[in-house]
Homo-oligomer: A and B are copies of this chain.
Amino acid sequence: MPQPIPTLRWEGGVDGHLVLLDQTRLPNEVVELHCRTVEDVWQAIKRLAVRGAPAIGVAAAYGVCLSLNSSGSLPLAGRVGEGVRSGYPALSPLPSPPHQGEGTGGNNIEVVRLACDYLATSRPTAVNLFWALNRMRDVAACGLAPEQLPQALLVEARAIHAEDAAMCTAIGQHGADLLADLPVGTGILTHCNAGALATAGEGTALSVIFELARRGKRPHVWVDETRPLLQGARLTAWELTQRNIDCTLITDSMAAQVMRQGRVQAVITGADRIAANGDSANKIGTYSVAVLAHAHDVPFYIAAPSSTFDPSIATGDQIPIEQRLGDEITCGFGQRTAPEGVNVYNPAFDVTPARLIRAIITERGVIKPGADL
């Protein structure tokens, strides 16, 4: 059963807007979020209404389309200010874009460039964001007539969207082939959410699981709840339940225990950025799972599109790690669960070294450790 509302969709034509499934409201409410300005998209990415490296890339691409869209003439500078008031870093306000039809080509290119620069500040770790924005920049820079640019941007964003969905399908196929020898009823542990909600298709890690299910493997998924924001409990358990995949929710601290009990035959997670040497950044706690898998002789796999690779970065040490506000940990459940004023460390990601990764499953095929990435 597909999810009731797609993770993201573009509504309308060149003057349309982006509609997101607001993931902060799941699993209790299924609510759509309509983004009509670049800032709406920036905020949606920042506060994780849309999250997951591939989905962020697609959302940002559509966000760029909004920069030249008539509704983009809302007072942008003030909306940037909202971000500043929320405690996010100060940003140069965007210039108000020209009304549709009155812009010159040069102005439009500059507006698109600024929109890309701005959207790139929403989250620092997932490289797919920068990859998608670079594709949009390239469209703006390719010398189109001014009136053609809005349509060309939308075509490119739709292409990124469609490629993402196809990428998910291919990852599922390659991953299921890789794990073809696992017995029926095999236990697979995953961390965070690398499913349909993280992409424009069936997901990355979960796509492999969905494909194994279609092949009659009846996988049993151990779902790390994934503190602090509980993407495993809220999103992965929701997706799996909706599709009738057997799963059991555990706290992150129980992963070692279920591995020790022999209930886990493989771990699969997504990734937000993969350095040239294969070191992979993913949701905080992934490194912990990888160390535990290694200690229990359980293979650890990453499933991610090739857009997740960042060849400009030699090793994982150079991947920028987003630090988030401490109240995600101290007030995460709607009430305070730690004393006032306590110090909190809240990195959103950690880096799993390549030596702990058995293979990286991409849409182009499977990369084994030690292979040339």
Contacts and interface: CB of A to CB of B under 8 A. Distances in A.
Contacts of A295: 291, 294-295
User: Could you say which of A27, A253, A342 has the most chain B C-beta atoms within 10 Å of its C-beta?
Assistant: A253
Contacts of A291: 256, 291-292, 295
Interface in A321-339: 326, 329-330, 332-339
Interface string A332-353: 1111111101111111001000
A300 to B, nearest CB: 13
A264 to B, nearest CB: 12
Contact of A345 (B249, B294, B339, B342): B249
Contacts of A48: none
Interface string A202-246: 000000000000000000000011111010011001100100001
Given A237-B342, A249-B338, A347 B254 contact: yes
A312 interface: no
A284 interface: yes
A145 B368 CA distance: 78
Interface of A: 27-28, 224-228, 230, 233-234, 237-238, 241, 246-258, 260, 284-285, 287-288, 291-292, 294-295, 326, 329-330, 332-339, 341-347, 350
